[in-house]
Structure 1
Amino acid sequence: MKKKHISELLNHARIGHSHFEFVDINVLDDQALFIDPCLIETQRGLWYSNATKLLDNFFNKFYESYRNNDTLKKLELLSCAGEINFTKLGYGKGDNGHGNTAKGLLTTFKNLETLTVNIPSITKAMDLPVTISGFSEDGLSDMITNILHLQLNEFTLEQLAITNVKPNSEDTFNTWDFASSSWKEVTSPCYRYGNNKILLTPKHIVRKKYHFGANQYLMRIILERAKKETAYTNPKGKTRYRTTKKELKLAIPKEDHNWKYKFINEKTESDQSFLIDYHDTIPYLYSDKAMTDAELDKFIY
């Protein structure tokens, strides 16, 4: 596979992520890294706090549209949330099947119409891969890229300026606007390699795989609580459990391939505190969990 890293195009003298604030993407292909909303939320700095505000604002409107079963609003919100390949992250190739269109995403999220009513604690970006079968890193990373399009473009221009590289084009695109809580069309200078626009991504917000998801939620929150409910004190005064999480998982009915999501959602509908506890736990799970410069070097180069 041919490689041409963005650092070469930006005239950086040294290769290696310790010298950059961005992911040193190969502009000739896609890299299977994904923007992680939990990493954005746990990083410190103005860029990250602004990004978190935008994401919270979008997903408030998104889940509201599902609670109200407002089909027109859902289509409007999803109209600019599909596949986007400017970051050269994810699987890309311009073809993620039906899911890269607003109508395709409507199909993917159809269960949200019921879930958002029955589980009011569904409020965050991270809740989608936890509760929706078939929606994971690639789809959510694309949604986030669209929401933060202007902010990522501005970050890219800042990185260009560090080595005195000027924008070489202009682009008109949709981005999420906090003031109006809607998509907004903006025109801005940008950087292109050939005919392809490039959006650089801060290196602290990408991962190869999310730490959160249905299985982790099941094991760490739901089954952990179920296990603790079997606790007893042995004659030596030590706490023991009458079952393990593995045994509890084996006992769950597995009638079809979506068994995990059905079980999770039924449990969360019956007790909202499960998902609330998960939201509270995530910042601790993600403490210092961004990829290191060495990990990025090994993956990218």
Structure 2
Amino acid sequence: MKRKFSEKFELQGTQKDFQFVDIKLWTDQALFIDPSLIANAQHKENQNGSIETTYATRAHNSLQSFFSTFFEMFKDINPSKLIKKKDQGREGINRDERILNLLQYSTENNALHLGYTVDESKGTGCSPKMIYDFFSNMKFKHPSMFDFVNEPFHATGFINEIGKDRSTDLTVSIILDVLCDFTLSICTQYSIPTKEFENYRHYWDPNEKMWKTRNYDLPTNNNGEPIVLVPKSFVTNKFQYDAEYVLKNYILEEKLDELRAQYPSKRLIKSDALKKLRLEHPDAFKKDLVLEYFVEKPGSYKNFMQRVNNGILGTHRGLLTDDEIEKATSETQEGD
């Protein structure tokens, strides 16, 4: 029987009545966990007294701890060549074992039912070696990239091949203990039965800066498999602060101002600024273009981050309404 979480456990209400995403249990829904939304939820000015705030603070700390550790390690890596797409993730490539160990638990967790379904362009799985190679290629092209890539949400904003689906898989692994504890609190609130899962997967311990495992009491589906819930303030259907946003809302505006100052008699628009950027960076993809621009103009990066931080910690553009979440968890997708 195809049921949502609330239907299986006979909870009264709709999405607006719940602090968690009321997921379909038989398939994935196209929702993704955005680290910048977690930063928004834990910010003191956005705290509303709900239980989500406590879990957002824990999740934010875990993400900051993991990515600061990862970025610091990768600063010391000096790739000697680009890894071709067909070779990404393959054996026989020299990689730093410390970083591979750091990425070893980055695989997808099906207990959350988030992301793209297999039938819906989910793409290939993302192994630790593949993630390593994605960062290695960007480091080869942009040796000073870690002057700019220093926040959890920068992984999707600046790194080719890492989109919202792969980012969600890694984020879930890092904050798994937080999500499981949140799930148990929901089960306690609604008297939902749980089952103990011993040493259930791994999570990142922000204090010891290492992967650990522990036991959890979790609800189960009809096959006895665990269900893990997510606070609704953590999810979105589109990462707002990605390379496209940076390019459109910041870099092109700045470039357009520059062109208008050079050619005051011309009527110029953003497409003119984009053409100029393409001429200046002919081999750059969107994320490469953003990084190259900031490498050339570090002052622009500082101003950009100030604007983005104001957006993330203020009225976040990616925060979904209850109706939008309800729509995402109710729409029939291919394969449903």
TM-score by length of 1: 0.88
Which position in structure 2 is the counterpart of 1:192? 220
C-alpha distance in 2 between matches for 1:37 and 1:88: 18
Check the 8 A contact 1:99/1:105 in 2, yes or no.
no
C-alpha distance in 2 between matches for 1:273 and 1:241: 27
Which position in structure 1 is the counterpart of 2:85? none
C-alpha distance in 1 between matches for 2:228 and 2:265: 52
Structure-2 change in CA distance of 1:12 and 1:249 (3 Å): same
Which position in structure 1 is the counterpart of 2:37? 39
Q: AA paired with 2:66?
A: F
Check the 8 A contact 2:192/2:219 in 1, yes or no.
no
Shift of 1:37: 1.0
Structure with more strand by fraction = 1
Secondary structure, aligned partner of 2:217? strand
Shift of 1:17: 1.1
C-alpha distance in 2 between matches for 1:75 and 1:269: 27
2:133 corresponds, among 98, 107, 112, to 107
Structure-2 change in CA distance of 1:288 and 1:223 (3 Å): closer
Shift of 1:99: 4.3
1:161 corresponds, among 182, 188, 198, to 188
Structure-2 change in CA distance of 1:229 and 1:97 (3 Å): closer
Task: Give ranges in structure 2 of 5+ residues lacking alignment.
Answer: 42-46, 48-52, 78-94, 331-336
Shift of 1:216: 1.3
Q: Report whether the alignment pairs 1:71 with 2:100.
A: no
Secondary structure, aligned partner of 2:106? coil
Q: Report whether the alignment pairs 1:182 with 2:210.
A: yes
Check the 8 A contact 1:171/1:190 in 2, yes or no.
no
* Range moving further from structure 2, 109-118 or 188-197: 109-118
C-alpha distance in 1 between matches for 2:40 and 2:143: 25
Q: How do 1:5-84 residues align onto structure 2 when only pairs under 5 Å count? A: 5-14=4-13, 16-43=14-41, 44=47, 45-69=53-77, 71-84=96-109
C-alpha distance in 2 between matches for 1:35 and 1:50: 15
* Range moving further from structure 2, 92-101 or 290-299: 92-101
CA deviation digits over 1:191-212, x for unaligned, max 9? 2212432110101111111111
C-alpha distance in 2 between matches for 1:146 and 1:248: 40
Structure-2 change in CA distance of 1:285 and 1:297 (3 Å): same
Computed over aligned residues only, the root mean square deviation of the Cα atoms, in angstroms, reads 2.7
Q: AA paired with 1:53?
A: N
Name the % identity: 24
Which position in structure 2 is the counterpart of 1:228? 257
Shift of 1:171: 3.6
Q: AA paired with 1:269?
A: V
CA deviation digits over 1:196-236, x for unaligned, max 9? 3211010111111111111211122222222223455xxxx
Q: Report whether the alignment pairs 1:278 with 2:304.
A: yes
* Range moving further from structure 2, 290-299 or 113-122: 113-122
